[in-house]
Structure 1
Amino acid sequence: MAAFDKNEEQIAAALSISAPTLRKHYFRELRSRLEARQRLEGKLLTALLAEVDKGNVSAIDKVFKRLDRHDLAAGYVGKPKAAKPPKLGKKEQAVVDAAAATKEDGEWGSLLRH
């Protein structure tokens, strides 16, 4: 229950004990919720991999999806490439080149201004 962020009162109620009794006997388990989460995740992954071993196609799909999410989060998969700007035709490119050449800092800009 600690793995699901339940508080001490909720955990004690589920175990039919008081909160002080819970803290007295389960202080180690209560100390680290992250460890509880990791233990639970380990159990679930073990069960999922057992289904993979049996040939369960749904389980295999879930494992692949989980690996893909992990690879994306860890940066193992390359970043998507930026979309290339559309290629201009000859006339459009000539207009762009002419505009760039006549700018003040362009190659021909200072000559054309005189």
Structure 2
Amino acid sequence: MLKSLELFAGAGGLALGTELAGFHAVAAIERDRWACETLEENKARGFPLVKDLRVVCGDVRDIDYSSIPSDLDLISGGPPCQPFSIGGKHRAFADERDMFSTFADVVARLKPRSFIIENVKG
């Protein structure tokens, strides 16, 4: 079984896609309470792709990753990158909302076989 970890999970769209591609998420980490509740509700309703998903509601910078398996095949996620948005303040790395480097730090620490990082225009 291919193991993955979902960072900045949102309501789980990317995690669902990787599950359909053959990965099993060992955890989905998201700090937004509403997104976490959506994931938990979908689990409670027995939706097959998330019924066994471990939802961690918290900031990826504050998570203890020691319980994450060391043999991850994939880390996936869509970190907020407001500092680089065409509609933002353009403060780049001086903007504390930049989670791109946080995503890279987790990848460097856990050393998965691969990673997918999603970003959208704007």
The TM-score bracket by the shorter chain reads under 0.3
Instruction: Tell me the TM-score normalised to structure 2 length.
Output: 0.22
> Normalising by structure 1, what TM-score?
0.23
Query: Between Structure 1 and Structure 2, whose CA radius of gyration is higher?
Result: 1
Higher relative contact order, structure no. (Cα contacts within 8 Å, ≥ 6 residues apart): 2
Higher strand share: 2
